[in-house]
Structures are given as C-alpha cells and as structure tokens.
C-alpha cells in the first residue's frame, strides 16, 4: 500500500510511464507530419472527443468503483482477522485453566497455551503467503516444531492444515478437562470466524473481475488516446503533445489504478499491506505471552507499506 502523501515522479512513471511515452511519441509524430510535412489529412477536428471522453470516463469510473470495493473488502477482512486473532489469544490464555493444578500440570498447561498462541501467529503468516502464492516455510520455521513443518509440506492449503492442528489442540484441552463446553464453543466460534475470513480472502484472490472490464476498457482508453492528437492538432499545432499527453495521462492513470486495485493480494505496491498486518498480530500475541523479544512493526520502504 502506497503511504506517501505527495506524488513522486517515479511513482507516476511506474504507473503509466511506457504507454505515456508511446503516446507522447505519437503526438510528436502527428505534429511533425501536420506542421512540417504538410500532411493536413492527419487533422480530424470532427472527432467528438468530448463525447467519447465522457462515455469512456463513465466506464472507467464504474470499473474503478468495483475495484476499490474489492480492495476495501480485502482490508476489512484482514481487519477482522486482526480482531479474531487477538480474541483467540485472549481466550486461549484466560479460558483454558485448571483451578487446583499441580506445579507440573501448571507448567504443562502454560506450555500448551504458548503453543496455541504461536500456532495462531503461524496461521496468519501462512495465510498471508498462501494468498500471495509464496512459500511460507521461512516464516513458520521459528513458530512450529520440525515434525509439523514436515507434515505441512505435503498440504496444498497450509493455513487450513494449521487451523486443523489448532482445533486438535483445543480438543485435547477439552478431553483433559482444561475447559468446559461453553469455553470450547467460544474458542471454536473464533476459529470458525477466522476460517470465514480466509474463505472470503480466497474468494477475492481467485475470482477476478470479468475480463471484459479489463480488455475492452483498456482497448477503449488506448484508442481514445490515439485519437486525441488527431482531434487537437488543427487547433493546437505545436502545443498538441502537451494537451494530448496530459488528457491521455488522466485516462491511462485511471485505467491502471483500477487494474491495480482489483487484485489486493498479489504482493504489489498497491495491495493491502498484509505483511504489516501480520506483524501487528504477531506483536500483539507475543505481548500477550509476556515475551521479552518482540519484533518491530514493519516500516514503509520507499513509500510503500507491504
């Protein structure tokens, strides 16, 4: 997610640098042909640029609204994951108890709670990499025992397998009498809410906007950009590249913004910053465990929060 408050040149170039340079070169070619080579047939002032621009602009706005809705839904989903992760950590540490336990049982219970909370951290990290299509093993190595990592490497959906292990740990707590029916139900409901959020994230990841929105709109924007110098050259003359490129930049940038926002989990600068969100969850849960070594929040890199 881009977090800089002021636009920078390299950010603009990253968005539309190549197509804008192509448009500017075409504008210059049209001007040279019309002004210096006498190709008067290049001027097409009858083209209704304003009408075409209004129609295409309406389509661009419609697509961008849908793209932003997908991006914001993704951010809302991960906000829910933050809340449910905190709730799971709180529930695991306070609801799993033994009133009159021996010192050995207290030690075992404390280790069990610690294991549950670290599994939740592992689940969030695995879900992040699962959505981005990245291998999760480096992030999981410090959170899970070796035998679990080996078993997970045969799974296609690693976060799902981790949550299944978390459910098994909770069942063990229930069978050993460390929590009753109500507390078991409460913890299971939190896991179900986390799974609902995972399913919603996977839906956004695996169901892009219909390709017609992308292909035809990009075609319309590019065609309109090529018509701009032809419709302007008779009135603007040598100034045509300035006017045409500026108007073309607006349409090209809006088109690119929509295509960037519609895929919020592709590990791009415009994505939802799920690495930073995952780190926030880890910090919160490790603080609940009263650990001394707490990782630092992820800071923006070159104006981008990942």
pLDDT for residue 7: 57
Count of structural domains, the chain = 1
User: Can you tell me the distance from the alpha carbon of 50 to that of 62, in angstroms, rounded to the nearest whole number?
Assistant: 18
* 8 A C-beta contact, residue 179 and residue 97: yes
Whether 214 maps to a domain, the answer reads yes
Q: In the Cβ-directed half-sphere of 49, how many Cα atoms lie within 13 Å?
A: 19
**Contact partners, residue 261, CB within 8 Å, separation at least 6:** 64, 67, 68, 70, 71, 270
Whether 2 maps to a domain, the answer reads no
User: Can you tell me the distance from the alpha carbon of 86 to that of 120, in angstroms, rounded to the nearest whole number?
Assistant: 9
pLDDT > 70: what percent of the chain? 95
Whether 296 maps to a domain, the answer reads no
Tokens of 192: 């179900």
* 8 A C-beta contact, residue 279 and residue 298: yes
* 8 A C-beta contact, residue 197 and residue 81: yes
- Strand-pairing partners, residue 304, are 2, 301
Q: Nearest-5° angle of CA 199, CA 200, CA 204?
A: 115
Give the total residue count for the chain.
306
The predicted-structure confidence for 236-272, as pLDDT tens digits, reads as follows: 888 888 888 888 888 888 888 888 888 899 888 888 9
pLDDT > 90: what percent of the chain? 35
Tokens of 213: 């929105």
* Least confident piece of the model among 8-22, 103-117, 202-216: 8-22
pLDDT for residue 20: 84
Distance of alpha carbon 49 from its chain centroid, rounded? 36
Distances (CA, A) of 121 to 126, 128, 204, 285: 9, 11, 22, 7
The predicted-structure confidence for 136-178, as pLDDT tens digits, reads as follows: 998 898 899 898 999 999 999 999 999 999 999 999 888 888 8
**pTM, rounded to two decimals:** 0.86
Closest of 142, 143, 136, 162 to residue 151, by C-alpha: 162
Average pLDDT of 33-49?
Answer: 86
Whether 303 maps to a domain, the answer reads no
Q: 1 pLDDT band (50/70/90 cuts)? A: low
Q: In the Cβ-directed half-sphere of 72, how many Cα atoms lie within 13 Å?
A: 7
The boundaries of the domain holding residue 97 are: 9-288
pLDDT for residue 163: 94
Position 304 pLDDT exceeds 80: no
Higher pLDDT, 155 or 9: 155
pLDDT for residue 234: 85
Q: Where are the alpha helices (DSSP H) in the chain?
A: 9-31, 49-95, 103-132, 137-140, 146-152, 158-175, 181-206, 211-236, 240-261, 274-288
Whether 304 maps to a domain, the answer reads no
pLDDT for residue 3: 61
Position 14 pLDDT exceeds 70: no
Whether 43 maps to a domain, the answer reads yes
pLDDT for residue 91: 92
pLDDT for residue 62: 87
Q: What 3 state SS string does 121-171 have? A: HHHHHHHHHHHHCCCCHHHHCCCCCHHHHHHHCCCCCHHHHHHHHHHHHHH
Average pLDDT of 26-53?
Answer: 87
pLDDT for residue 4: 62
Q: 193 pLDDT band (50/70/90 cuts)? A: very high
Average pLDDT of 181-188?
Answer: 90
User: Can you tell me the distance from the alpha carbon of 298 to that of 275, in angstroms, rounded to the nearest whole number?
Assistant: 8
Whether 4 maps to a domain, the answer reads no
Whether 301 maps to a domain, the answer reads no
pLDDT for residue 85: 95
- Strand-pairing partners, residue 2, are 304
Question: What does the mean pLDDT of the chain come to?
Answer: 87
Position 216 pLDDT exceeds 90: no
The predicted-structure confidence for 88-109, as pLDDT tens digits, reads as follows: 999 999 888 877 767 777 788 8
Distance of alpha carbon 154 from its chain centroid, rounded? 26
């Amino acid at each position: 997610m881009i977090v800089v408050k002021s636009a920078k040149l390299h950010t603009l170039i990253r968005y539309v640098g190549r197509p804008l340079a192509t448009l500017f070169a075409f504008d210059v070619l049209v001007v040279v042909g019309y002004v210096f080579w006498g190709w008067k047939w290049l001027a097409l002032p009858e083209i209704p640029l304003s009408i075409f621009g209004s129609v295409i602009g309406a389509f661009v706005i419609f697509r961008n609204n849908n793209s932003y809705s997908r991006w914001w839904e993704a951010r809302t989903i991960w906000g829910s994951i933050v809340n449910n992760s905190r709730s799971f950590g709180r529930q695991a540490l306070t609801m799993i108890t033994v009133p009159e336990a021996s010192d050995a049982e207290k030690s075992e219970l404390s280790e069990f709670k610690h294991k549950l909370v670290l599994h939740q951290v592992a689940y969030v990290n695995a879900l992040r990499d699962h959505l981005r299509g990245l291998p999760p093993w480096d992030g999981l190595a410090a959170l899970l025992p070796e035998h679990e990592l080996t078993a997970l490497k045969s799974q296609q959906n690693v976060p799902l397998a981790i949550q299944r292990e978390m459910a098994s740990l909770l069942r063990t707590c229930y069978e050993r009498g460390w929590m009753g029916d109500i507390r078991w139900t409460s913890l299971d409901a939190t896991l179900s809410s986390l799974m609902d959020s995972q399913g919603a994230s996977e839906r956004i990841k695996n169901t892009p906007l219909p390709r017609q929105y992308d292909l035809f709109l990009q075609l319309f924007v590019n065609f309109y950009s090529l018509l701009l110098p032809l419709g302007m050259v008779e009135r603007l003359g040598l100034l045509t590249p300035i006017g045409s490129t500026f108007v073309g930049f607006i349409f090209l940038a809006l088109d690119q913004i929509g295509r960037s926002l519609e895929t919020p989990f592709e590990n791009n600068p415009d994505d939802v910053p799920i690495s930073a969100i995952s780190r926030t969850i880890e910090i919160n849960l490790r603080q609940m465990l009263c650990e001394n070594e707490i990782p630092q929040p992820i800071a923006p890199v070159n104006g981008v929060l990942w």
